[in-house]
Amino acid sequence: MSLSKIDAIETETEQIDQEKYLRQATQYYTALEKPLKYGPVIDSLTDLITALHREFDTNYVNIEMVNHIMLSYKSNPKEWRKYAKFDRYKYTRNLVDFGNGRFNLLILCWGEGVSSSVHDHADSHCFMKMLKGDLREKRYKYPHRTEEQLGNIADDQLVETGETPMALNDVAYINDNLGLHRVENPSHADTSVSLHLYCPPFDSCSIFQENCKKTTAKVTFWSKYGVRTKLNEQ
């Protein structure tokens, strides 16, 4: 077997190991409230991306450090404006960095009054940072996520657990162990922009109706690296 094929197999194996580790970490990780004292200094979006690649260059990713990196960055529109692509009728998912397949960094753009469906995150970590404007996050229990919940959640309704406003530079964190969420721009006059990190990356998730009916939705990119994607490239 050629060395190139061996390297490819080893890389694939490492990625599988990291993905397994990250999914296991969703069972216990909650979130940091403020940056770590010993973490890297993040002065720019480039610093953020470089630091993320450094953290994901190992099978055993320090999720606290990833959280620190997202908390430490201060929004600078000159750095992210080229990625911010809006659609008049829905929010958009704009790829900033593919993360070598180990994470995805995206900018989501929210028009006035636009919201997402109630959805999960396919057993991945989701960090969301405000870059412009305001968002409101509503959280819900994950229906029948565990045996303990089977007798506590009605089959015909979602149970809301909280609502949190997000302002400039705030960071929210969620995984499926913490529940589902719905994100909306509460303003009917101003747009909002947020920076999202997903790890491991996923190409589909589950969306939920009020009666707890679940369907699978494919997630796509409205643009990649600042360039509008074609339908067959999303």
Integer-rounded Cα Rg, in Å, for the chain is: 18
Q: Is the dihedral of CA 63, 121, 48, 187 positive or negative?
A: negative
Alpha helices, DSSP H, located in 33-103: 45-55, 63-72, 77-80
Cross-strand pairs, 174: 126
Which positions ≥6 away from 15 have C-beta within 8 Å?
A: 101, 102
119 belongs to an annotated ligand binding site:
yes
Cα dist. 233→176, 217, 221, 230 in Å?
Answer: 28, 17, 8, 5
121 belongs to an annotated ligand binding site:
yes
Which positions ≥6 away from 150 have C-beta within 8 Å?
A: 144
125 belongs to an annotated ligand binding site:
no
Task: Give the angle 48-27-21 at the CA atoms, nearest 5°.
Answer: 60
From the annotation, which residues make up the binding site for Fe cation? 119, 121, 181
From the annotation, which residues make up the binding site? 119, 121, 181
